[in-house]
Amino acid sequence: MFRYLTLRLASMAVMAVLATLIVFLIATQVPADPVLAQLGDLQSADKELVAAYRRKWGLDLPIWQQYLLFLKGLSQGDLGQSISTHRPVLEDIRQYAPATIELATVSFLLAIAISIPLGVLAAVKRDTPVDHLARLVSLIGVSAPTFWLAFIMLAVFYGGLQVAPGPGRLDVTALPPPSWSGLLLVDSARAGQWDTFHDAAAHLVLPSIVLAASIVGLLTRTVRASMLEALAQDYVRVARAKGLRETAIVVRHALPNALVPVVTLGGIAYAILLTGAVMTETIFSWPGLGRYTFRSAIALDFPGIMGITLVVAVVYLVVNLLVDLSYALIDPRVVRR
Amino acid sequence: MSAGLAPSPAADAVAAGRARRGRWLRRYGLAATGGAIVLAWILVAIFATALAPWPYEQVDVTRRLLPPSAENWLGTDLLGRDVFSRLLVGARISLVAGIVVVVVGGLVGTLIGGIAAYAGGRAEEWMMRATDLVMCFPPIILAMAIAAALGIGVTNTILAMLVVWWPKFARLARSLVLVQRNQEYVEAAHVLGFGPARILFRHIVPNAVGPLVVLLTLDVGTAILTFAGLNFLGLGVIPPTPEWGQMVSEGRELVEQWWVATFPGIAILSVVIGFNFLGDGIRDWLDPKSRRR
Amino acid sequence: MMMEQILLSRRLMLAGAAATGALAASGGAAAQGRKSVLVIGMDISDGRNYDPGRMADYSPPLTNGNVYETLVTQSPGDYVNVKPMLATKWERVNGGKSWRFTLRQGVKFWDGSPFTADDVKFSLDRLVNLKDQPGVYASNLEAVQVVDASTVDLVMKDPNSPLLINCAAPAFAIYSRKLVSANGGVSDASANTADKATQYLNSSSAGTAAYRMVSWERNTAVTLVRNEHWWGGKAPFERVVIRHIADGAAQLLAVRRGDIDAAFNLTAEQLASLRGDANVRLESTVSLDYVYMTLTGNAEFNPALAKREARQAVAHAIDYDGIINGLVGGFAVRPPSFLPIGAAGTTEAFTKEFGYRQDLDKAKAFLQQAGLPNGFEFDLSITNAAIVGTNYQVIAQKVQSDLARVGIKANLKPLDPVNLRTQYNGGRTTSVITFWNPPSPETDLWASASIERVAKRVGWDVPQPMRDLVKAAAAEQDQARQIALYKQYQQQLVDNAHYLILLQPIYRIAVRNTLKNFNVTAAGWYVEMEQVEPA
């Protein structure tokens, strides 16, 4: 097991770096010149200035050398400087990550809070209207385009009914708490700024509903399916024969066993939320990694793009590793020879 | 006597028939609805230009942003074009893109995964690591990078999607084939001297096909969603070709003229629901465990 | 390297905490003293630098134009004349080779230290020697010479090339030599490697204006406070907060509710929805920017467009009024060619006199003359970006449908913004719809661009008489004669039909009626903040 783990970690590191290499190679095939995007019209005609900028960003070096520089910086924990924000990419990521982490976590908890009870209920009351309703809700949630759902939420609850706050993490007049973790809920609670806490929570409602909707379906179906399996097990039959109450059987015996595959799927879902919330973040003007990804991509900001690729790759690989490990623990058939 | 106490066999048969229909509806109602929706949209896509009341590219800025009316059932967009007509024509692109990505990606992925699983050992290991590598790619970045390198257009967007689409099929195929590979009948066939290709195609594949078909059907919805999303971000179709995601993007800021963004989104929603209901129903049909005892 | 970065970011975090701490302390006061705070809602996400020597984005000038002062300035709407600011008098000396500025007395920086000619020399030397983007606008500046504590000479490289109007631009901000050099600022020839003051200037200004910058929290807000030492008296507001709100709809709601006092990025539809609101009015000004379309003259790219008549056909087929009234709600004007309305006496009368207008018959006649009676095809490159509340793609589709009416087929080629600029700047596009945004209303900036670098991009071999005309116009010191020369220049541009100006936006800002004197300007700093006061 230990050897397997070390090998996997090593291969993970290699793959994360490979991912950046692939992105880098594609990016170099792009015929555009990112320096021009940073310069005004008159400035772009000034050859000296353009050359100075190119030198500054290392863009006058041959491709392989640029990548080696990136790798060298990477080994020292330096992801280079973003061409569009003029700041170290690591700092950009550090600034934008908390917003995404907060949103993803809240959305995930919301999704879990809905899907576990719903899935259990659907399994226990199988083939009844409750089950069909649960299936309907799951399927619809998964089918709605995120960017459209976000728009509808804003249009209805913010524009129309005016019960929800608008885009952004905080209201225009709110006082931001002193920055400690970057998670507004945590920081404002820590500082005792309950007004801000309330405001931050209110701003989280709509976007987290949108994000949760995208994974509730999957999670509910998984909970239902694994609950059904758990309920069909022999030990449940034994418990019933012994005369235990149905609720106790469901909650204390079947559910814990049913949750194992849910945990693995949940991990993947969480990873998806962390790395793929571009649409939601764009529409809700959420200053997170998704939006940073999009803007880096548009600006052909190589360092920014590679920094994000690295982060996403690492998140996915870690989650994959955990998932595979848990597979190996549950299902001996799938263990590699 | 007609008002008898004992029920007649004819009434029995009718009641039994009704119960059977009721059972069938409960079990496959959703799937049938899904199938109907999908079929309807396919027909719309085929006959779009005939069904559309207005030419989809006809610009008239004096008639822009009109609310739904008798003339324009779903209103007009910011160039005065009829939303309903554009919606119908947009079905073509979305459906074709979704189906192409899933079918091609599915085939490629299944082949890779199946062969990897059957081959086993080092080859399998490398193939699965390659799968991992592609799966950890941010698809948006890939799509934008490809668009920047090769140009914006539907073909390039589909290409970008294909690159990230095959891994999930590879993984599924691999796990299915793995399970099958270890079954006794495969060992028996092996002992009997059947070649690996024959075993693969005549025995393993038919057993693995079920879940693959389910994934394929369910996945068309996801592909359409992803394609619409990329169009929303500005990659994909070249104007004035309509596409639902791009239409939502045009109406994104227009909260007061909600019809511009709402109806294309509903179209996407309904198509994806259709495929999801359908796929779900197929899954239920194939899965013996979910059959009522 | 890593340690430094950790320390750096921790310092920034602490600085941020201190600033918000300061805000928190005054937060209580602000809650009841909302009237003493001016809150502006704007998308400031593009801002990368607030150092005047490096500033190169759209949103920082709003701040810098109001926390720094320049030698001269311009009144909103008058972009031909300059008026005094830090200088009270100016004249040409030294055989016309230098401008001598007499500096205003009694001016102090926000820290109380006096403003002298040394600060002018420091600031302008640093502008040139940093060799960063704004320095390009000082290309005609040879040297800055201190004559005495209140007199300074700006020596030009070419006395016939303009400089005076550029002196009003935010790039020519005058800041304190003491404050900036104390924070790593260097103004001599080694500045572009030795200067370290940018970080300081990105969080604190060093100017003489009515307000000063005290913090910049990226993607959150820029905060200004009153400069107690301002020579113009007491600024009406204690604090100004420029709040980052990326979303137009969010700005709309915020200005409706009074969370912000002014909203800068509303679309035409959003502005229209404010029509009945008794609390909000619209302040507007004709900008000096425009959206324009290029047509190549390079036969290798498109043999049809290489013919002048074919370009004229395109120019006469476009429904300009439809674009302006239909797509931007009527809030734009249209100049005849590359000089916007307001520059060098250009007016809409010129456009009526010799500019383009939609005339389908004329367009068809031009096609006949070009030997292309059945029309032709060409590629039109655009990017998917918002511009004055609409989108290039929307404008392009309208143009496409207009041209189709005379048989000209425009094929849209969407590109990402970077690719578009690369191709356009590299002269590889057949036709492009893009945006021109001048940093300063100096007429020669447009004129020389149109016959030099932009002409290269459209494959136009500019004839010598045209070049001479532009040079003569730039050197002409008599205003009336200069206007006549520039008019001639525009007529020739219209004739050649390489540049089709589609619209020159009228910028409208939603302002709550709790404010008065919200004077909007097109000269680069958007609004004269020191004049804004509570109603």
Determine the number of helices (DSSP H) and then strands (DSSP E) in chain C.
18, 22
DSSP string, C91-122: EEETTTTEEEEEEPTT-B-TTSPBP-HHHHHH
- The residue type of A101 is I
* Residues contacting residue C458 through CB under 8 Å, at least 6 positions apart: C294, C295, C296, C297, C298, C427, C498, C499
* Residues contacting residue A131 through CB under 8 Å, at least 6 positions apart: A121, A122, A123, A125, A224
Q: What is the mean pLDDT of residues B169-179?
A: 78
Specify whether the CB–CB gap between A104 and A211 falls below 8 A. Answer: yes
Please tell me the distance in Å from C510's CA to the nearest CA on chain A: 16
Q: How many CB atoms lie within 10 A of CB C466?
A: 18
Q: How many CB atoms lie within 10 A of CB A190?
A: 14
- Cα B191 from chain centroid? 41
DSSP string, B9-33: HHHHHHHHHHHHHHHHHHHHHHHHH
Coil, strand or helix at B68: coil
Select from B141, B172, B270, B273 the residue whose CB has the most chain A CBs within 10 Å, as the one to mutate to test that interface.
Answer: B141
Give the CA radius of gyration of chain C: 24
Q: Does A179 touch chain C (CB under 8 A)?
A: yes
Q: Which residues on chain A are in Cβ contact (under 8 Å) with B225?
A: 143, 145-146
Q: Is C436 left (phi over 0), alpha (psi -120 to 50) or beta?
A: beta
Q: Which residues on chain C are in Cβ contact (under 8 Å) with A52?
A: 131, 192
Contact B26 A154 (CB under 8 A): no
Please tell me the distance in Å from A76's CA to the nearest CA on chain B: 23
DSSP state of C57: S
Inter-CA distances, A110 with A99, A255, B64, Å = 17, 19, 40
Q: Does A75 touch chain C (CB under 8 A)?
A: no
| Residue A305 to residue A24: CA distance in whole angstroms | 9
Specify whether the CB–CB gap between C344 and C450 falls below 8 A. Answer: no
The per-residue pLDDT for C518 is: 93
Q: Which residues on chain C are in Cβ contact (under 8 Å) with B61?
A: 319, 322-323, 325-327, 398
Contact B179 A31 (CB under 8 A): no
Specify whether the CB–CB gap between A148 and B261 falls below 8 A. Answer: yes
Contact C49 A91 (CB under 8 A): no
Class of residue B228 by CB neighbours under 10 A (exposed 0-12, middle 13-18, buried 19+): buried
DSSP string, A30-82: ----HHHHHS-HHHHT-HHHHHHHHHHTTTTS-HHHHHHHHHHHHHTT---B-
The per-residue pLDDT for B203 is: 66
For residue C386, what are its two tokens? 């918002």
As for the ipTM of the complex, it is 0.82
**Nearest residue on chain C to A162, alpha-carbon basis:** C253
Q: How many CB atoms lie within 10 A of CB C196?
A: 11
| Residue C529 to residue C535: CA distance in whole angstroms | 14
Kindly indicate the confidence band of residue B211, based on its pLDDT and cuts at 50, 70 and 90: confident
Closest CA to B242 of B105, B122, B102, B76: B76
Closest CA to C459 of C429, C434, C489, C436: C429
Which residues partner with C242 through β-bridges?
C40, C222
Please tell me the distance in Å from A285's CA to the nearest CA on chain C: 6
Determine the number of helices (DSSP H) and then strands (DSSP E) in chain A.
16, 0
- The residue type of A291 is R
Contact C453 A45 (CB under 8 A): yes
Instruction: Give the dihedral sign, CA C170/C173/C179/C184.
Output: positive
For residue C501, report the phi and psi dihedrals to the nearest 5 degrees.
-85, 120
Specify whether the CB–CB gap between C147 and C80 falls below 8 A. Answer: no
Burial C165-177 (b: 16+ CB within 10 A, else e): bbbbbbbbbbbbb
- Cα C425 from chain centroid? 19
Contact A166 C418 (CB under 8 A): no
Which residues partner with C156 through β-bridges?
C141
For residue C240, report the phi and psi dihedrals to the nearest 5 degrees.
-125, 130
Specify whether the CB–CB gap between A69 and A61 falls below 8 A. Answer: yes
Kindly indicate the confidence band of residue B244, based on its pLDDT and cuts at 50, 70 and 90: very high
Kindly indicate the confidence band of residue B205, based on its pLDDT and cuts at 50, 70 and 90: low
- The residue type of C286 is V
Burial C468-505 (b: 16+ CB within 10 A, else e): ebbbebbebeeeeebbebbbebbebbbebbbbbbbbbb
Count of residues in chain C: 535
Contact B78 C390 (CB under 8 A): yes
Q: Which residues on chain B are in Cβ contact (under 8 Å) with C248?
A: 253
Closest CA to C498 of C289, C340, C298: C298
Please tell me the distance in Å from C382's CA to the nearest CA on chain B: 11
| Residue C201 to residue B238: CA distance in whole angstroms | 44
| Residue A141 to residue A216: CA distance in whole angstroms | 7
- Cα B207 from chain centroid? 22
For residue C118, what are its two tokens? 């040394």
Helix-helix angle A194-231:A255-275, to 10 degrees: 130
Closest CA to C243 of C37, C9, C517: C37
Give the CA radius of gyration of chain A: 24
Please tell me the distance in Å from C398's CA to the nearest CA on chain B: 7
Contact B62 C326 (CB under 8 A): yes
Contact B252 A30 (CB under 8 A): no
In order along its 337 residues, chain A shows pLDDT tens digits of 678 778 878 888 888 888 888 878 877 777 778 788 778 888 888 888 888 888 887 788 887 888 888 888 888 888 888 877 888 899 889 889 999 999 999 999 999 999 988 888 888 887 788 888 888 888 888 888 888 998 888 888 887 788 888 778 887 667 778 888 888 888 888 888 888 899 999 999 999 999 999 888 888 888 888 888 777 777 777 777 887 777 777 777 777 777 777 777 788 788 888 877 888 888 888 889 988 888 888 777 878 888 888 888 888 878 777 777 776 665 554 444 3
Specify whether the CB–CB gap between C525 and C240 falls below 8 A. Answer: no
Q: Does A299 touch chain C (CB under 8 A)?
A: yes
Contact B136 A22 (CB under 8 A): no
H-helix segments, C370-478: 392-404, 417-425, 443-451, 453-457, 464-475
- Of residues C209 and B178, which shows the higher confidence score? C209
Q: What helix, strand, coil percent values describe chain B, rounded to 5?
A: 75, 0, 25
Closest CA to A278 of A115, A131, A100: A100
- Statement: residue B38 has pLDDT above 60: yes
Coil, strand or helix at C40: strand
Q: Which residues on chain C are in Cβ contact (under 8 Å) with B62?
A: 322, 326
- The residue type of C229 is H
Helix-helix angle C360-369:C308-317, to 10 degrees: 170
Counting as low any pLDDT under 50, the low residues of chain C are 1-32
H-helix segments, B120-238: 121-135, 139-150, 154-181, 184-191, 196-199, 205-232
Coil, strand or helix at B52: coil
Contact B144 A298 (CB under 8 A): yes
Coil, strand or helix at C263: strand
Specify whether the CB–CB gap between C405 and C356 falls below 8 A. Answer: no
Q: Give residue for tokens 């310069």.
A: A39
The per-residue pLDDT for A4 is: 77
Q: Give residue for tokens 């992925």.
A: B109
Q: Is the peptide bond before B240 cis (omega within 30 degrees of 0)?
A: yes
The per-residue pLDDT for B162 is: 92
| Residue B116 to residue B132: CA distance in whole angstroms | 14
DSSP state of B66: P
Please tell me the distance in Å from A267's CA to the nearest CA on chain C: 30
Coil, strand or helix at C372: coil
H-helix segments, C426-478: 443-451, 453-457, 464-475
DSSP state of C163: -
Q: Which residues on chain A are in Cβ contact (under 8 Å) with B292?
A: 127
Q: How many CB atoms lie within 10 A of CB A289?
A: 32
Contact A297 B229 (CB under 8 A): no
Inter-CA distances, B76 with B68, B250, B263, Å = 7, 12, 11
- The residue type of C408 is I
| Residue A109 to residue A120: CA distance in whole angstroms | 17
Q: Which residues on chain B are in Cβ contact (under 8 Å) with A151?
A: 248, 251-252, 261-262, 265
The per-residue pLDDT for C33 is: 63
The per-residue pLDDT for A99 is: 92
- Cα B151 from chain centroid? 26
Question: Which of A32, A94, A159 lies closest to C418 in CB terms?
Answer: A32
Q: Give residue for tokens 């309950």.
A: A194
